[in-house]
Structure 1
Amino acid sequence: MRIGVDPDVCEAHGQCSVVDFELFPLDDDGYSAVGPDREVPAGEEGTARIGVDACPVRALRVLSE
């Protein structure tokens, strides 16, 4: 599974990192540091989906299952 963030949409709400800071790190300004294309470790797919869904502005997305 791969996830990504659209930095132009992210508003630094940080809800994704509340779900799992390792999967959804934030930069020094509080914006998502996931990047445009990140591999989700095996077994963390459910947590990744929860983190993506937690974004109130839909800046995060699942790129592939």
Structure 2
Amino acid sequence: MKVQLDSATCQGHGRCYDLAPDLFGEDEEGYGTVLGTGEVLPGAEQHARLAAANCPERAINVLEEE
């Protein structure tokens, strides 16, 4: 599983890095950023889905690997 964040859509509410600080951080202006490669470690899948579900702009995509 991976997460992606559309920086053009993000409005900087910060819910992603509040809900999943192991996956998301903030840039110097307070907008969300994906940490590392966006790879979701085992056990953090629920945090990724929670962050995506709580993004008001739907700027986060959770990619399920097959």
TM-score range, shorter chain: 0.7 to 0.9
**2:33 pairs with 1:26:** no
CA deviations 1:1-51 (Å, max 9, x no partner) are: 11100111001010111112221111111111117x610011100111001
TM-score, length-normalised on structure 2? Answer: 0.85
Identify unmatched segments of 5+ residues in structure 2. none
Structure 1: runs of 5+ lacking an equivalent = none
Segments of 4+ moved more than 6 angstroms = none
The residue type equivalent to 1:28 in the other structure is E
Aligned length: 64
Preserved contact between residue 24 and residue 51 of structure 1 (Cα < 8 Å): no
More strand per residue: 1 or 2? 2
- Identical residues among aligned pairs (%): 39
Question: Match of 2:44?
Answer: 44
